[in-house]
Structure 1
């Protein structure tokens, strides 16, 4: 299932917390990318939704991880030129925290190309410069050293592992203040429908909590509560 405008709009109203619960109910326990947080002002206080465009790094090797490699046909620079508008870049940096995979110039180019956001289990560099680009970044933090200090870039648009989660190109990524979640393409429609309904139910439950109702039987709702919810919200 591809990310249609209708599904995109629906997911913009769904929290990552809700999505992890819905995915858990559907048997997917490893959907939350561990490590990244909203690291730039452009990422804070908002939610982003988009198809995954994957990047993969491996450990550095002295003959390969050099500044000269940045000019290679297989480089982060080449990958950026292949990125379509509205994608969310997901970079597997193996959780490495002593080198930054991107800096301000690369982020500026991604913004110019219309990339929605960058999610990585690694680090970025040029913190002040990245902030000025307006790039929405979810990462583990900022450091000074360049990627080749500890990493070697090997490819893009292939299946990766990021923050303990398998990410396939075209999976849907949702990121907000709680982090980033991967929705497998095959489950996209079902997960979206269930998540939208879960949000509606929980909004109604919050109203009941505000009225002073006790939680047992309310959250999670028992059969009586579900029947009342249906009657009050759907005219059932």
Structure 2
């Protein structure tokens, strides 16, 4: 479904991604794990069309989308739940969700997707008239996911969904990602929480200093001594 080949990204003279290549099969959960500063967010933002790569190919359903503007990438069916949630704090929950449904591909399906979001996150229906900035961190993450789903994506990239959340809420978010995947949504999960990510993933990649250094199934990387020593303290 998604093929990234030899992707380079630079910020001026500084190289953020160096010949990054990986695949995402349709219907799978793929984890990209690594420490802070490894290049994970740069990778997500480049796929999403927010950063233009200096080299490489991003194939989505066979078409090269590298360098396309973000609104076109979204309308092809690639959604993003950004790091830090990035809800519109002065808008209500209802207005935030409506923003997600503005994509041409999604407009005709607004009511159906809204019902889907409320079924998954009933608290959002209760908070419809509340401004997003007054929600708890967990509720804002629910809203960020719900807003993304309003755009009718086929593939969603989750960038650090556990960041700043209490452990119980983190597990709830990961259960939500698993449930969405069971419904047929393809997921790319970018996380510092390596153990939880690898347990969830069908396939996983380790990103270090802008390069993919290890790849395998989630189970294989969980059992890899290098991963255990570097990220799991074992």
Relative to the length of structure 1, the TM-score reads 0.29
Report which of the two has the higher share of helix.
2
Relative to the length of structure 2, the TM-score reads 0.30
Report which of the two has the higher share of strand.
2
